[in-house]
Structure 1
Amino acid sequence: MKIDWAALGSVFGVSLVVTVALVGLFTLGIAGLSRQPEPAAQGGGTSGGSTALVRTGAYLCFALCAAAVAYGIYLIVA
């Protein structure tokens, strides 16, 4: 039995990069959703525009995570 070490290393490298990227995206999503607007009495602005933008970015991070997982499942099944 002969092991193709180059292919094994390639699979390991790609798996490591994709895992770190997915965990990073999910972490950004959690951080975006956990951000609370500051009350106006503490110097926070009255508009919620930046909070809405951060929340939209968090949902985009979750959507990208879901797409990556769905693509991985597609690759396994196909």
Structure 2
Amino acid sequence: MNIDWASLGQVFGVSLAATVGLVGVFTLGIVAGSPRTAGSAPSVLARTGAYACYAVCLAAVAYGIYLIAA
């Protein structure tokens, strides 16, 4: 059996970058949606940004499921 190490390394690199990026975007959504002080609500702009981050995460997960199922 021959292993193409260059392709394996490429898959590993892309997977690592996608994972770190997706976790970063989700974390940004959590931070944007959290209140700044106790008892206050996040602003409308911050909440909209949080929803946008969550939408990006949802789109990435849906695309991954589509690639697996196709």
TM-score, scaled to structure 2: 0.88
Counterpart-to-counterpart distance in 2, 1:55 and 1:37: 15
Deviation at 1:32, TM superposition (A): 1.1
1:51 to partner: Cα distance: 1.2
What is the letter of the counterpart of residue 48 of structure 2?
Answer: T
Consecutive unaligned residues in structure 1, runs of 5 or more: 40-49
In the TM superposition, residue 38 of structure 1 has moved relative to its aligned partner by: 8.1
4+ residue segments displaced more than 3 Å: 36-39
Corresponding letter in the other structure for 1:14:
V
1:2, distance to aligned residue in structure 2 (A)? 0.2
For the aligned residue pairs, the C-alpha RMSD in angstroms reads 1.8
Structure exhibiting the larger radius of gyration computed from Cα positions: 1
Using the size of structure 1 for normalisation, the TM-score is: 0.80
